[in-house]
Structure 1
Amino acid sequence: MKRQCAALALSALLLPLSGCKETFDFLPYGRELDDMALMRTMGVDTARNGVEVTVSSGAQDQGGGQGEGQPTVLRKEAGSISAACLSMQAQGVSYVFYGHVGQFLLGEELARNGVEAALDYVLRDIEMRLESNLYLIRGSRAGDAIEAAAQVNSATDQLESLEADAGLLADCMFRTVEDVMEDLAENGDSFAPALTLNVEEGQLETAGYGLLRQGALAGWAEGESARGVNLLMGWVDADVLEVEVPDMGKAALRVVGAKTQVRPVLTQGMVTGLTLNCKVDANLAEGADGAHLEDPRLREALEAALEERCKLRLEEVLDLCRTLDGDFFQLKTQAGLKEPWHWAAIQAAPSLADLDLQVQVEGRIQRGYNVRDGGE
């Protein structure tokens, strides 16, 4: 029996060498890296007869670190993304390779019509990666944004720079195609980072988040509501709050940590609401007329101001969920994971628009950036 198994295993290993190529058509052809044009950013927009796909390389567009120093930008319309990508092979002497795409951009019009078909392409294509970061282009077409960025450096370079500085952004963080697809599979709702195009400078800039309701763009979280999203998700490394402290003037607080838990509220066994319990840690960065945290009145006033601002931000997030009637941040799922014994009741609960949503915030000032303030 062991000899038979060994023979079968050996046959399987040797089969690719037998010349039966058609048996392995699901594998990509082997190619020399130097003969490939490596695309790094892909954008998809609606078109009259299907979709328009735009791809861009970085400054070095060929394998082996080669290239002309200018990004290669290709643009094609077709009935499907796959057909558009295939037709691009006729636009250059190198083989266009999509396995290095790290940013996947969707234009606003396409996003409003629904993102699932575009995301499904990433899932199914043999070269594309689910780990690619997903962006929604607000107020513009993805292809236009990619071409405008190429006049300065490249969309790839700009987005990689933003991603490298992700910890310094207070109103936007990055999500992969896989992250969004998991949410959509869970309840049909999700969110993705938004970008706008500064036309004069050819720069892509962060613009909060796009909110996806049943797979289609329903609205935007921007400004304080976008910061509320970061607070909800615990992405607060670069968040600075400017607050007014009575009798002590203005102060700047740097938020250094946040953790939000979602719990269900039940009445007679039925879920009637959700409560967000958020714990926020911050440091006193500057201000308060030179006062120090040794003064308990200052610490109490700062913590009260911190709690008030963070509560307002989270309430703006919940207002968007009510207004757009979407569980964009999987609040029900979070509540179910926190109290799994109520899972069935939570899943049977009405939409967020019909639930009583409350926010509770506990703020703590850890220390200041003054040696007298010390730490805890």
Structure 2
Amino acid sequence: MSRAQWLLLTAAACAALTGCAPLDALPYAYEIEDTVLLRTLGVDVATQRLDGVAVTASSGERPAVGDSPGQAGVVLSAQADTVSAARTMMQSYGKDELFFGDVEQVVVGEGLAQRGLDDLLALMARDPELRLEARLWVVRGGSASDVLFGGEEGGGVDDRLDAMEADAEQRSATLPRTAREALVDLARSGTTFLPALAQGPSRPGDGAEGDTAVSTAGYALFRDGALCGWAAGEEAHGIHLLLGRADAGLLECAAPDGARVALLLTGVRTDYTPVFRGGALAGLEVKCKVEARLAEVRGGDALSREELAWLEAETARLCRTRMETALSHSRALEADYLNLRQRAALSAPWRKDELEQDWEKDFPGLAFTVNVQVKVAGG
């Protein structure tokens, strides 16, 4: 059985394992007063055994239950050959039962991401306690254990991850993605992208309560199920534009008169058209329409009609550069993590078979043409 077939079978089983399953499908019964509800799961490459895994679990601060007062969070860790065995080891650490059915965030260390996500995602699909709707994060330049234990001093990293997820759903440089989305991507093309985290020293005003702070760091890029690169900064914003998302937030530029201008992107539509020459796929034309609102002008007067036209042209240039950077990197990695093949096929369904057949061969040499039109309101 091929890797793609195996992943497709796993994805097909997701509905049965994570949908409206009967309550007795859960392996244990829990008394809530004697149970630690874990919110975040971290998975790394083991340091104490060959080819094993290191698992870290965090509860965050535990609220009061009945007459029992609230309690400080706990962070537990274990190493074993499998995630399941490590979780079983944690059950022996104290008198309270550990419940993994509340895990909403799964943090993957860079080392494990380089090894590959297939095993972890397959476990999440078949384990009745774990959920494919959990958000996945990849730690850039570090381990999940470092992130979870580093957040313990400030009351736990769980609330910080929840806050970043909420921010991302509104307006952020990083979009949240679930294990289910990653599983479907990998089954379809062997590629995906996931939000990245970075840990560093805290500084005044960043909201961190301890010595370290966790922040978003663009995206981790995957090919054949394993980490193959990173996308951050302008490239991460380019990914949003290519996906037709307006989550890229504010865009700043300097006007000709020296004023600093801030634009809020309010709408993005991106269309793809495959280009054929001599019956062969030669390129991909990308057309993007952006709607933006003037948020702030600092150091200048209200924009004239000519200045507004300049601003629209400059914004189009900046957006085009972001998109071209993301496309070029995807092509260089030979990783179609943006699912461009399907997007191209949707615009030319009569040539879907040709696109499906030749895409992997043609993708590294495709010529991308990006055109962006911008309309700014509030001038």
Give the TM-score normalised by structure 1: 0.86
Distance between the aligned counterparts of 2:72 and 2:298, measured in 1? Answer: 50
Measure, in 1, the Cα distance between the counterparts of 2:172 and 2:25: 43
- Structure 1 residue 352 corresponds to structure 2 residue 363: yes
The reply on whether 1:258 has 2:257 as its aligned counterpart is no
Partner of 2:53: 51
Q: Residue in 1 aligned with 2:246? A: 236
Task: Pick closer, same or farther for the CA change 1:59–1:27 going to 2, 3 Å.
Answer: closer
**Match among 328, 339, 346 for residue 337 of structure 2:** 328
| Alignment partner of 1:181 is 2:162 | no
For 2:27, the equivalent position in structure 1 comes to 28
CA RMSD after TM alignment: 2.1
Residues 307-322 of structure 1 aligned to structure 2 (within 5 Å): 307-322=316-331
Matching of residues 26-105 of structure 1 within 5 Å: 27-47=26-46, 48-49=49-50, 50-60=52-62, 68-105=70-107
Contact preservation (8 Å) 1:292, 1:298: no
- AA paired with 2:374? G
From the CA coordinates, give the structure whose radius of gyration is larger. 1
Is 2:110 aligned against 1:108? yes
Query: Is it true that 1:367 corresponds to 2:369 in the alignment?
Result: no
* Number of aligned residue pairs: 344
Letter in 1 for 2:373: E
Relative distance call for 1:67 and 1:110 in structure 2 (3 A) is farther
Provide the rounded CA distance (Å) in 1 between the counterparts of 2:151 and 2:41: 13
Structure 1 residues 296 and 65, CA gap change in structure 2 (3 angstroms)? farther
Contact residue 104 and residue 133 of structure 1 kept, 8 A: yes
Aligned residue for 2:308, secondary structure, equals: helix
In 2: Cα distance, 1:303 partner to 1:255 partner: 12
What are the Cα deviations for residues 291-339 of structure 1, in whole angstroms up to 9, with x where unaligned? 445x321221111011000000001101211221110110111111232
Q: Determine if the alignment matches structure 1 residue 271 to structure 2 residue 287.
A: no
CA contact (8 A) 1:307 1:361 kept: yes
Q: 1:63 to 1:80 in 2, by over 3 A?
A: farther
Query: In structure 2, what residue type is equivalent to 1:316?
Result: T
Is residue 190–residue 211 contact of structure 1 (8 Å, CA) maintained in 2? yes
1:213 partnered with 2:223? yes
- 8 A Cα contact 1:122 1:128, kept in partner: yes
What residue identity is the alignment partner of 1:304? Answer: A
SS at match of 2:92: helix
1:148-167 to structure 2, matched below 5 A, reads: 148-167=150-169
| Matching residue of 1:371 | none
Contact 1:38 1:62 survives alignment (8 Å):
no
8 A Cα contact 1:37 1:63, kept in partner = no
Alpha-carbon distance between aligned partners in 2 of 1:259 and 1:82, rounded to the nearest angstrom: 43
Query: Shift in Å at residue 262 of structure 1?
Result: 1.8
By how many angstroms is 1:192 displaced? 0.1
Say if 1:228 and 1:238 are closer, same or farther in 2 by CA, change over 3 A.
closer
From 122, 142, 150, the equivalent of 1:140 is: 142
Please say if 1:281 is aligned against 2:291.
yes
Unaligned runs of 5+ in 1: 1-23, 369-376
User: Post-superposition shift, 1:252?
Assistant: 1.8
Q: State the shift of 1:155 in Å.
A: 1.5
Q: What TM-score, normalized to structure 2?
A: 0.85
Q: CA deviation at 1:365?
A: 0.7
Equivalent AA in structure 1 for residue 220 of structure 2: G
1:8-37 superposed Cα distances (whole Å, 9 cap, x missing partner): xxxxxxxxxxxxxxxx98542332222211
**Deviation of the 1:250 alpha carbon:** 3.3
**Amino acid in the other structure paired with 1:359:** V
For 1:159 and 1:141, locate their aligned partners in 2 and report how far apart those are by CA, in whole Å.
15
Q: Which moved more, 1:134-143 or 1:67-76?
A: 67-76
**Could you tell me how far apart the structure 2 residues matched to 1:160 and 1:289 are?**
37
Change in CA separation of 1:33 and 1:313 when aligned onto 2, cut-off 3 Å? same
Give the distance between the partners of 2:67 and 2:334, measured in 1 at CA.
49
Pairing of 1:1-20 with structure 2 (within 5 A): none
Is there any run of 5+ residues in structure 2 with no aligned partner, and where?
1-22, 203-210
Alignment identity in percent?
38
**Structure 1 residue 67: Cα displacement:** 6.1
Q: Which amino acid in 2 is paired with 1:30? A: A
Query: For the structure 1 residues 64 and 329, does the alpha-carbon distance in structure 2 shift closer, same or farther, using more than 3 Å as the test?
Result: farther
Report deviation, 1:126. Answer: 0.8
State the 1:238 CA deviation: 5.6
